[in-house]
Amino acid sequence: MRINQDRRVVVTGMATINPLGDTLETYHRNLLDGVSGIRKWTTLALDSIECTIGGDLGDYDMMAALDRLKTGIPAALHQKVRKLFRTCTFANKMTALCAMNAYLDAGLFGQEHDPFRTSVLLAGHNFNSRYVNKNIDQFKQDPTYIDPLFGLEGLDQNIAATVSEVLSVKGPVCTVGAACASGNYALRDGFRDIVMGECDRSIVAGAPFDMAETDMQAMVFLNSVVIDPAFQNEPTKASRPFDTRRCGFIPSHGSAVIILEELKTALDRGARIYAELLNVRANADGCHLPSPSSVNQTRLILDLLKSVDVAPESIDYVNCHATSTPLGDLEEIKAIKAAFGGHAYKLKLNAPKSMLGHTCWAAPLVETVGAVLQMNGGVLHPSINIDKLDPAVDLDVCANEACKCDVRYMLKNSFGFGGLNCCSLFKRYEG
């Protein structure tokens, strides 16, 4: 089914906090320089767990980041958020910071607009695992001393509600959970809010997964994360999509917010436009196990392209899901080959998780922010840690070196646990 293209959707604001930086400029520069954000965890006690490395932002100074925003946001809002942060969870604070930064980046503070015509879509679920675990432990010791606001702060929807409060948004507000495809699923719903005419603007937010030690152990049991002892001592080399020694993903903290806007609305207020979002499509494997299917991924890519009458040969760049798992990386490559045929060998691909690790539910948004910056800059970041390219990966994955590329159309893949697949298609804005 083709979409109604009368209402075009563009990106007018972006922000992220991730292991490579908390500004667009720093994040972009570190991506191009091939910097790894992976280190030993210091904010989780993982001595008894086989995976001890990740993109740890548990010590990120939220109040200092809020104070850096002081000159860009209304004084009353700064004061209000300082009070909110006294009780907010880690995930809630980081998401609120990203939302305000993206709103500022879009030039929306001080603008007159109908608050009922803006939606908030929060990508993900189980955000507050460490906070929940701490309260459970406290309850076992003495129920009197659990957090009095646990019944509110522990709920996922509280983060979406906080974003709506901070930005004075009164349109549809909800969470969209689809494992590590959540970011693209939320983008899909924000896009539809605008295309269907219900909203003129959507704030699509990815909150960090504040994981606990039990989550890390659970991922070890699933054999999905890196447990190789050699990489525990060389964390920057552990995430290695497409390499023959890849052996699992690296869990990371990370948050991102993308502001979507109806094109005429954006032009009327003189907004800067980063890119045009053409469409987002999703399907499922019909299997709850983490066993990706290139067949369904191929169908999804082709359905997405067909929905907007874009030929496969028009795509220049694929920002890959590429988690660094032995099966997942190959299935994605198979899907790209099947969807694009001979054109696959003319595409540029790269793997942001080689540097970021896996920012879980927020990953599609964190990575899309970086991909849009690359698209506009004409240079693609390297996929690092490829010492020996898997022979089955015979496409151009920007192995270890940044490369120039004139990107007009960009595909962003995300394939979540449970066989939840979602891809988005962006075009460089040309008026």
CB 372, CB 262: distance < 8 Å? no
SS3 (DSSP) at 369:
helix
CA-nearest of 281, 286, 56, 52 to 181 is: 281
Domain 279-426 has CATH 3.40.50.2300: no
If you search the block for the tokens 């507000």, which residue do you land on? 173
DSSP state of 42: S
Half-sphere exposure of 421 (CA within 13 A, CB side): 26
Tell me which CATH homologous superfamily contains domain 9-214+254-275.
Thiolase/Chalcone synthase (3.40.47.10)
Q: What does the alpha-carbon distance between residue 74 and residue 91 come to, in Å, rounded to a whole number?
A: 23
Provide the 10 A C-beta neighbour count for residue 193.
25
In this prediction, residue 2 carries a pLDDT of: 58
Q: Where are the domains of the chain?
A: 9-214+254-275, 279-426
CA-nearest of 31, 92, 179 to 100 is: 92
What is the largest distance, in Å, between two alpha-carbon atoms of the chain? 65
CA-nearest of 352, 414, 360, 321 to 91 is: 360
In this prediction, residue 290 carries a pLDDT of: 81
Phi-psi region of 243 (alpha: psi -120 to 50; beta: other; left: phi over 0): beta
| 169 alpha carbon, distance to own chain's centre | 22
Dig out the tokens for 122 from the structure: 């929060």
Contacts of 88 (CB under 8 A, 6+ apart): 96, 153, 162
Q: How far is CA 45 from CA 56, 149, 256, in A?
A: 12, 25, 26
| 377 alpha carbon, distance to own chain's centre | 20
In this prediction, residue 4 carries a pLDDT of: 58
Q: How far is CA 331 from CA 98, 293, 305, 320, 325, in A?
A: 33, 6, 19, 11, 10
CA-nearest of 295, 355, 90, 322 to 211 is: 90
Give me the average pLDDT of each 10-residue run along the chain (431 residues). Answer: 77 98 98 98 96 98 97 97 97 98 97 95 97 96 96 96 98 97 98 97 98 97 95 97 98 98 97 98 92 94 97 98 97 98 98 98 98 98 98 98 98 96 97 80
CB 343, CB 316: distance < 8 Å? no
The reply to whether domains 9-214+254-275 and 279-426 share a CATH topology is yes
Q: What does the alpha-carbon distance between residue 384 and residue 122 come to, in Å, rounded to a whole number?
A: 30
